[in-house]
A and B are shown apart, each in its own frame.
Chain A
Amino acid sequence: MSALLQVSNVVAGYGDGPAILNGASVKVQPGKVHCIIGPNGAGKSTLLKAIVGMLRIREGDVRFKGESVKGLRPDQVLRKGICFVPQERALFPKMTVRENLRMGGYSMRDKVELERRIDEIEARFPILKERRDQHAGTLSGGQQQTLSMARTMILRPEIVMLDEPSLGLAPKIVAEIFDIMRVMTEDGITILLVEQNALMGLKHADWGVVLDLGRTLFEGPGQEILNDPRIQELYLGGRKAA
């Protein structure tokens, strides 16, 4: 099966600073939940930012459905069908839940269709309907994450990339967040997420990618990686001095 998104040997960093990614590669298969794990500073978030065009890719390539998206601006990448939810959840705290959803479809021309899709989202996530006129900043952490994820669905993207969606959430809420990801895959959305909590991420993911020092170490089915001895080594400090 050909990859939906193919990241090949990407080198990237912030501004003129040192490269954070030193040849990272990821293959994303359609309809699956992919989880990128790796120790602090491995370049997990940086990889997502490079894919979406927030950082310039110095070397390597990113291909989406066979077409290079390297060098595109974030809004152009969005229009191609790749949606990114950054770590800070990216909500507008002083806009209502409904206004936040509406911003999700800002790039849509057809505003009638936009309203229809918002109604659809509200039907699927009753909590968002209940809180529609409340400022997003007053929602709980879980509700905010739900809103962030639901908002991506407005544009019916093919890939949604999530940067640590579980950050700061209670375990029970985290489970709900992963449930939402399942719902999204049933809708044909492919998920690529970054998790600090490797155990939890891999448990829920179909495919795991292990990143360290800006390079892809290895990848495989989530369960297999969980049991891979190299994981122990990576996280429990067996790394050999460079």
Chain B
Amino acid sequence: MADMIQILVLGLALGGVYALMGSGLSLVFGVMRIVNLAHPSLVMAGAYIAYWAFRLGGVDPMVTLPVALVILAATGVLLYKLVFEREARSAKYSEMTVLLTFALAMVVEGALGTAFTNTQRVTSPDYATDAFFIGSVFIPKGQLYSGIVSLTIISALALFLKFSAFGNAIRATTQNRDAAELLGVNVNLVGLVSFAIGIGLAGAAGALVSFVFSFFPAKHWEWIAILMSLVVLGGMGSILGTVLAAFILSIVAAYVGFFFGATWSTLTFFVALFVVLLVRPQGLFGEKPELA
């Protein structure tokens, strides 16, 4: 029994970081219909920012987090202006964005590999290797903190989307782009801001990832599949759905790891991806797909 609770706690603790990575991806998809395959590679870039700040300056990744967020958000603005805004007028927009983001992922991976080699890295502030104990259940501090920070950021995002005028415009654009435009929403600006927020969240997640997982430039390939499964289970574009999916799947993955061995735990996400697409393609909170 204690084992079962222990695994639940570990699963929950990891869910937060996945949720943060997934919510940025989900926001960008929701507003711009871009399946951003480069999202995890940008998470990786955030992780390197946190890693080097810690390694060279002894700066805590939690402190670097807002910096990584801003740097990546600025990168997002640049990418949007240089690449995606132009592409939005193309008739083959969706196909193009898949190719573009795939290429972008390769470029980021290559750049990180060239600059920092393919060595495994991990940021190791004191709390990353420490834990709380409640009875016999241990809670790794690093994962707990990263989970709390992730949920705080996601809550802030949710409040912004729900209660601010611009947040409402973002949601409106996600749900009905033409209608939003007819009502005077500058959908291009909404796209730009959402893209910047989404990529900024990747940077923030990267700072947390830097001490939760060991990482190297090519690791993002593993994550894109995991994040896709979260976003699909949550319902493409639904942030609440993505967060729930992140917790559900990371808990299930933790149990799978316990019963069948750690190598199988990643498989949970892929199996979930297939099952969701077969059984409930709209995910938890997505729109029912139109029969076409």
Binding site for B on A (CB under 8 A): 52, 54, 74-75, 78-79, 84, 86, 88, 90-95, 99, 102-104, 106-107, 111
B182 touches A103 (CB 8 A): no
> Which residues from A are CB-within-8-Å of B176?
88, 90-93
B149-177 contacts to A (CB < 8 Å): 165, 168-169, 171-172, 175-176
Interface size on B, residues (CB 8 A): 17
The complex places the Cα of A54 from the Cα of B187 at a distance, in Å, of 14
A78 touches B179 (CB 8 A): no
Given contacts A94-B175, A103-B168, A86 and B182 within 8 Å (CB-CB): yes
B95 within 8 A of A: no
The complex places the Cα of A131 from the Cα of B182 at a distance, in Å, of 24
Pick from B178, B183, B287: contact of A103, CB under 8 Å:
B183
Chief secondary structure at chain B's binding surface: helix
Q: Can you list 15 A-B contacts (CB < 8 A)?
A: A75-B184, A75-B185, A78-B182, A84-B182, A86-B179, A90-B179, A91-B176, A93-B176, A94-B171, A95-B168, A103-B169, A103-B183, A106-B165, A106-B172, A111-B165
Q: How far is the CB of A74 from chain B (nearest CB, A)?
A: 5
> Which residues from A are CB-within-8-Å of B186?
75
B178 touches A102 (CB 8 A): no
> Which residues from B are CB-within-8-Å of A54?
178, 182
- Residue of chain B at shortest CB distance from A94: B175
Q: Identify 8 new A-B residue pairs, CB closer than 8 A, beyond the known A104-B183, A106-B169.
A: A54-B178, A74-B182, A75-B183, A75-B186, A88-B179, A92-B171, A103-B168, A111-B165
> Which residues from B are CB-within-8-Å of A52?
182
Binding site for A on B (CB under 8 A): 165, 168-169, 171-172, 175-176, 178-186, 287
B168 touches A102 (CB 8 A): yes
> Which residues from B are CB-within-8-Å of A103?
168-169, 172, 180, 183, 185
A92 touches B179 (CB 8 A): yes
The complex places the Cα of A104 from the Cα of B181 at a distance, in Å, of 11
B185 touches A106 (CB 8 A): yes
Given contacts A86-B178, A90-B178, A111-B165, A95 and B171 within 8 Å (CB-CB): yes
- Residue of chain A at shortest CB distance from B91: A15
3 nearest A-B residue pairs (beta carbon): A107-B184, A90-B179, A75-B184
> Which residues from A are CB-within-8-Å of B180?
92, 103
> Which residues from B are CB-within-8-Å of A86?
178-179, 182
The complex places the Cα of A52 from the Cα of B31 at a distance, in Å, of 23
- Residue of chain B at shortest CB distance from A74: B182
The complex places the Cα of A202 from the Cα of B181 at a distance, in Å, of 30
> Which residues from A are CB-within-8-Å of B182?
52, 54, 74-75, 78, 84, 86, 90
Q: How far is the CB of B31 from chain A (nearest CB, A)?
A: 13
Q: How far is the CB of A176 from chain B (nearest CB, A)?
A: 22
The complex places the Cα of A93 from the Cα of B238 at a distance, in Å, of 13
The complex places the Cα of A90 from the Cα of B175 at a distance, in Å, of 10
> Which residues from A are CB-within-8-Å of B181?
74-75
A92 touches B184 (CB 8 A): no
The complex places the Cα of A106 from the Cα of B185 at a distance, in Å, of 7
The complex places the Cα of A78 from the Cα of B287 at a distance, in Å, of 29
A79 touches B175 (CB 8 A): no
B178 touches A106 (CB 8 A): no
A106 touches B171 (CB 8 A): no
Q: Which one of B175, B178, B287 has the highest number of Cβ atoms from chain A below 10 Å of its Cβ?
A: B175
The complex places the Cα of A30 from the Cα of B181 at a distance, in Å, of 26
A78 touches B165 (CB 8 A): no
Q: Which one of A90, A92, A111 has the highest number of Cβ atoms from chain B below 10 Å of its Cβ?
A: A92
A107 touches B178 (CB 8 A): no
Q: How far is the CB of B240 from chain A (nearest CB, A)?
A: 10
Q: Which one of A74, A75, A91, A103 has the highest number of Cβ atoms from chain B below 10 Å of its Cβ?
A: A103
B179 touches A91 (CB 8 A): yes
The complex places the Cα of A85 from the Cα of B60 at a distance, in Å, of 53
A92 touches B172 (CB 8 A): yes
B183 touches A78 (CB 8 A): yes
The complex places the Cα of A52 from the Cα of B180 at a distance, in Å, of 14
The complex places the Cα of A108 from the Cα of B27 at a distance, in Å, of 26
> Which residues from B are CB-within-8-Å of A90?
176, 178-179, 182
Q: How far is the CB of A214 from chain B (nearest CB, A)?
A: 22
- Residue of chain B at shortest CB distance from A100: B172
- Residue of chain A at shortest CB distance from B162: A99
Q: How far is the CB of A121 from chain B (nearest CB, A)?
A: 15
The complex places the Cα of A90 from the Cα of B179 at a distance, in Å, of 5
The complex places the Cα of A3 from the Cα of B124 at a distance, in Å, of 74
The complex places the Cα of A75 from the Cα of B189 at a distance, in Å, of 14
- Residue of chain B at shortest CB distance from A52: B182
- Residue of chain A at shortest CB distance from B184: A107
Q: How far is the CB of A100 from chain B (nearest CB, A)?
A: 8
A99 touches B168 (CB 8 A): yes
> Which residues from A are CB-within-8-Å of B185?
75, 103, 106
